[in-house]
Structure 1
Amino acid sequence: MQRWMGRLAAGVLVLCSGMAQALDLHGLKPGEVAVWAAPVEGGAPLVEHRADAAMNPASTMKLVTSYAALGRLGPGYRWTTRLVSAAPIVDGVLQGDLYWVGSGDPRFDQRDLIELAGELRRRGIREIAGRLLLDRSVWSGTGRADDFDGDAERAFMVAPDPQLTNLKVAWLAFYNDELGPRVALDPALPGVSLSAKLSDGGAGACGDVRNRVAIRTAGDSISVSGQLPQACDGARAFVNVLAPTEFARQSFAAAWRELGGTGPAGFGTAVAPAGAPVLASHDSEPLLDTLYYTNKYSNNTMARTLFLTLGHEEAPGSDTPAAAERAVRRTLVEAGISDAPLVLENGAGLSRRERVSARLLGQVLLAAARGPYAGEFMASLPIAGEDGTLKKRFADVGSRLRMKTGTLKDVRALAGYWLAPSGQRLAIVVIVNGPRALQQTAAMDDIVADLIAQAGPHCCAGMAGGQ
């Protein structure tokens, strides 16, 4: 903090209590960056540099979606996944088709699927004579994330899905004990082939196992090769495999087989018959838990699911992405925030098209911090030097700083709050757009640090003025 206080003494910051000074951009060009900061407890902004410019926010867009989700759905909102069938059960055999009615639960995993299928076994069903049919009618579509073709197989590109399971990734579990180096697939998807050529890597450290072995995926095949140190015994790495519906089918097959069930006889997609009896159901964790993972770890799939869920609740059966956009815009307008600079594609910031202004994002921060779910919203943000995407940043500032990060090619962004020792809070937004963005992370961090130093321990006290 001493080096930042030195900058304060040198008079290089913007303004405090009405005293204007030059904003130190730390090597950034004025047209590359937008900066906005204002006290949460009320008062005029401390800095407004290109605050109304339309900027690509990358993952700081998740804050807009999170704010809308808390307001429209509530922190206790849950997704319900159901297995239904109108077919009779005779001597432990379901005599017809079983429908998996998906809700898009963003954190539904293999354990949840085993528990769901276990309800069928507890009902006495041991065989599904008909087909497993996926009812995918909850959304009209999953929206778009265009111009990321080169990243199609990356886990962050997994699209939301009504039957999403394990975020559509499987895990590779590595072992190197008395039986030698080897790898297993978890869950054991029956249609995925796994081949491995692993040798003993000796007594060296493991670190990230993905740096020790080569993992390649192609359709329904996974190959692993390399030297596996003994310290990697128990290490895990995820892989993105299969198309969404095929991943769901094989996940169900693995769960049903683990439970000792037989069938189903086939597979497909169809809308469940109206009024079909519910044979099993699973309620998700509350939305608040999803927000934690969405923002702490910048999960694109979860953010896009929240966006689509807003659309489903806004207008069931309509164009879901369009309804989601209406819901977000209506939330902003109702809060008195102009949506003029807003461009939405999927609500996650995984977009070359999405735009906000620093002022809009800042006003969302102010509205969230002053609203009924302020604690829930702020608890979802990464804590500087401690967790999430800020675990290795701002260690000198520490836990008083909570900010959402944003990273894309040509984009770096930060948006969040600093809590002063006085107990008052400063909302801060810094967005960098341009071909040099990748190299300007440190400059962006320095701007944030300067604003914190400028505000000082008695941040915002007596800074009267309108918003």
Structure 2
Amino acid sequence: MNKLLLLLAVLATPLYASAPAGFNDDEIALWAAPLEGNAVFESHRGEVAVNPASTMKLLTSWAALNRLGPNFRWQTEFRSSAPLQNGVLQGDLYWLGRGDPRLDSARLTEMLRQLRLRGVRDIAGKLVLDQSAWHGIGTAEGFGGDADRVFTVAPHTHQLNLKVAWLRYHFDAGQPQLTLDPPLPGITLENRLQVGDGASCGDVRRFVNITQQGALLRVSGRLPPACDGAANYVNLLDSDNFAGQAFAALWQQLGGSGPRGLAVATTPPGARSLLQLDSTDTLASVLVDVNKYSNNTMARSVLLTLGAQFPVGGDTFADGERALRGLLAERQLPTAPLVLENGSGLSRRERLSARLLGEVLRDALRGPYGPELAASLPLAGEDGTLKKRLGEVGGSLRLKTGSLDNVRALAGYWQAPSGQRLVLVAIVNSARADKLTAALDAAVAALVTRYQARLAAAAAGGL
């Protein structure tokens, strides 16, 4: 037997471990395996169905990369059946949104600028949002108490700025001023800020109090001059009105007139295309936000995009799930236990096993898009949701984090300086999960240490 086969044989001896220090036996599921071969290095409750929290995003990312490709881009289009006469569009403008997760004010402004260059000066009809790209977006039940939080914003075909507006602060003649970006004509901004003390700013939210009453947004507090240029985001309006009001404000900033109202409808047959542009960002770029910063809305949009590109039954989320499950079967990977609610992990109901997720990660790293998936994961001790965690672990440790009530999770891979890679998944489901983050990090670090020792032993044996 050659040395490579001997090495694989040594590494293949699985350790069916008891729970790591600090955990009860039923509080954690662990699964770890070397990239090479089909061996399992360690497993503890690896087949048990658990809530993965945001590590579910890895499953969605893997499916999207394989079915859509890393260079996939989202398309946005404007159409109309109305004639254009002397710069006036004599009717409605249809905005065909297809769920670009990173559509922002800058990109929309560029689109509107190009409409102006193509001769449109005045929109005499309504702006009509065509949302027919998606039918059924999945759910995220059980988060009613967080409905005003940004992390619960549902995906939308016209998701401008992730439905987030920025309050931007500056000083003029020594007095604190603020602006809303993008400007939203339906929101009245009331500035009650006073000049405050402080040599530094940091998080500007320490100094301001923001209240919303209907269309009135009131900002009070004592703002230090050091906060000139600071900003914080606010979640305003529903997605339809956010997109419509932002469009109108940006259009008028470019010198355009109209539109005269907002509606939601399907583009009539035969409407001609006035402008069609691809997204600035590719799927691979979007997945950096999905995984490094655990963006729920973007992750859900990615799975819906998968469903929209491979329609079967007419429900976009169900079609996305069907495409994902089909890929699992095609790759002969475990298809159970798996429960999907939206594909982002923002769910009380989603379930998978540590082994299922681990096998998906192993398949990903062996495939053509492994580098793209790996690059989207937080690097321990350096960036994303792992910036202040696990930096002491040697080699390259890239892990997606997961956090919900009663759930803490880590999943990704570690690469030894000599090049060997270990896929690892650790998922805590426990009523005291919020107190077990440090223990989870310690368990992962210890797992890596044990694998390093196994590699060293194999090397010492001359393998």
Q: Give the TM-score taking structure 2 as reference length.
A: 0.93
**2:62 corresponds to 1:59:** no
1:358 is displaced (CA, Å) by: 0.3
**2:144 corresponds to 1:149:** yes
Q: Is the 8 A contact 1:382 1:403 kept in 2?
A: yes
Distance (whole Å) between structure 1 residues aligned to residue 146 and residue 452 of structure 2: 42
- Which has the higher mean CA deviation after the structures are superposed, 150-159 or 16-25? 16-25
Distance (whole Å) between structure 2 residues aligned to residue 403 and residue 190 of structure 1: 42
1:274 is displaced (CA, Å) by: 2.2
Query: Percent of counterpart pairs with the same letter?
Result: 54
Distance (whole Å) between structure 1 residues aligned to residue 238 and residue 12 of structure 2: 57
Tell me the residue number matched to 1:83. Answer: 78
Distance (whole Å) between structure 1 residues aligned to residue 263 and residue 271 of structure 2: 18
Q: Is the 8 A contact 1:75 1:376 kept in 2?
A: yes
Q: Is the 8 A contact 2:12 2:39 kept in 1?
A: no
SS across alignment from 1:31: coil
**2:162 corresponds to 1:167:** yes
Match of 1:401 among 375, 397, 402: 397
1:21 is displaced (CA, Å) by: 8.2
1:42 is displaced (CA, Å) by: 2.1
1:323 is displaced (CA, Å) by: 0.9
- Which has the higher mean CA deviation after the structures are superposed, 220-229 or 94-103? 220-229
SS across alignment from 1:456: helix
Distance (whole Å) between structure 2 residues aligned to residue 20 and residue 321 of structure 1: 39
SS across alignment from 1:305: helix
**2:410 corresponds to 1:414:** yes
**2:44 corresponds to 1:49:** yes
Superposed CA RMSD in Å reads: 1.8
Correspondence 1:262-301 to 2 at 5 A: 262-284=257-279, 285-301=281-297
Q: Is the 8 A contact 1:177 1:233 kept in 2?
A: no
The alpha-carbon distance between structure 1 residues 95 and 142, as it changes in their structure 2 partners (threshold 3 A), is: same
Distance (whole Å) between structure 2 residues aligned to residue 461 and residue 114 of structure 1: 60
The gaps in structure 1 that reach 5 residues or longer are 1-14
Match of 2:429 among 433, 438, 441: 433
Q: Is the 8 A contact 1:406 1:413 kept in 2?
A: yes
Q: Is the 8 A contact 1:321 1:346 kept in 2?
A: yes
Q: Is the 8 A contact 1:418 1:425 kept in 2?
A: yes
Q: Is the 8 A contact 1:384 1:399 kept in 2?
A: no
Distance (whole Å) between structure 2 residues aligned to residue 220 and residue 425 of structure 1: 54
The alpha-carbon distance between structure 1 residues 221 and 335, as it changes in their structure 2 partners (threshold 3 A), is: farther
**2:333 corresponds to 1:337:** yes
**2:132 corresponds to 1:137:** yes
1:59 is displaced (CA, Å) by: 0.2
**2:306 corresponds to 1:310:** yes
The alpha-carbon distance between structure 1 residues 460 and 222, as it changes in their structure 2 partners (threshold 3 A), is: farther
1:293-346 deviation digits (Å, cap 9, x = unpaired): 110100000000011111111116711111111111111111111111000000
Distance (whole Å) between structure 1 residues aligned to residue 12 and residue 52 of structure 2: 29
Distance (whole Å) between structure 1 residues aligned to residue 395 and residue 275 of structure 2: 43
Distance (whole Å) between structure 1 residues aligned to residue 213 and residue 141 of structure 2: 22
1:397 is displaced (CA, Å) by: 1.7
Distance (whole Å) between structure 2 residues aligned to residue 216 and residue 460 of structure 1: 59
Distance (whole Å) between structure 1 residues aligned to residue 16 and residue 403 of structure 2: 29
1:25 is displaced (CA, Å) by: 1.7
1:164-208 deviation digits (Å, cap 9, x = unpaired): 100000000012353311221111111111112212122332111
**2:314 corresponds to 1:327:** no
Tell me the residue number matched to 2:87. Answer: 92
1:77-120 deviation digits (Å, cap 9, x = unpaired): 11100111111111110011110001110000011111111122
Q: Is the 8 A contact 2:14 2:43 kept in 1?
A: no
The gaps in structure 2 that reach 5 residues or longer are 1-9
The alpha-carbon distance between structure 1 residues 82 and 125, as it changes in their structure 2 partners (threshold 3 A), is: same
Q: Is the 8 A contact 1:139 1:317 kept in 2?
A: no
1:218 is displaced (CA, Å) by: 4.1
SS across alignment from 1:449: helix
Distance (whole Å) between structure 2 residues aligned to residue 257 and residue 375 of structure 1: 43
Tell me the residue number matched to 1:239. Answer: 234
1:417-447 deviation digits (Å, cap 9, x = unpaired): 0001120100110000011000000010000
Amino acid in structure 2 at the alignment position of 1:433: N
**2:434 corresponds to 1:444:** no
SS across alignment from 1:30: coil
Distance (whole Å) between structure 1 residues aligned to residue 160 and residue 332 of structure 2: 38
Q: Give the TM-score taking structure 1 as reference length.
A: 0.93
Distance (whole Å) between structure 2 residues aligned to residue 378 and residue 170 of structure 1: 31
Q: Is the 8 A contact 1:342 1:356 kept in 2?
A: yes
- Which has the higher mean CA deviation after the structures are superposed, 31-40 or 312-321? 312-321
The alpha-carbon distance between structure 1 residues 35 and 143, as it changes in their structure 2 partners (threshold 3 A), is: same
Amino acid in structure 1 at the alignment position of 2:54: S
Tell me the residue number matched to 1:255. Answer: 250
Distance (whole Å) between structure 2 residues aligned to residue 107 and residue 45 of structure 1: 38
Q: Is the 8 A contact 1:176 1:229 kept in 2?
A: no
SS across alignment from 1:405: strand
- Which has the higher mean CA deviation after the structures are superposed, 229-238 or 299-308? 229-238
The alpha-carbon distance between structure 1 residues 300 and 42, as it changes in their structure 2 partners (threshold 3 A), is: same
Q: Is the 8 A contact 1:219 1:241 kept in 2?
A: no
The alpha-carbon distance between structure 1 residues 65 and 21, as it changes in their structure 2 partners (threshold 3 A), is: closer
Tell me the residue number matched to 1:363. Answer: 359
SS across alignment from 1:76: coil
1:398 is displaced (CA, Å) by: 5.7
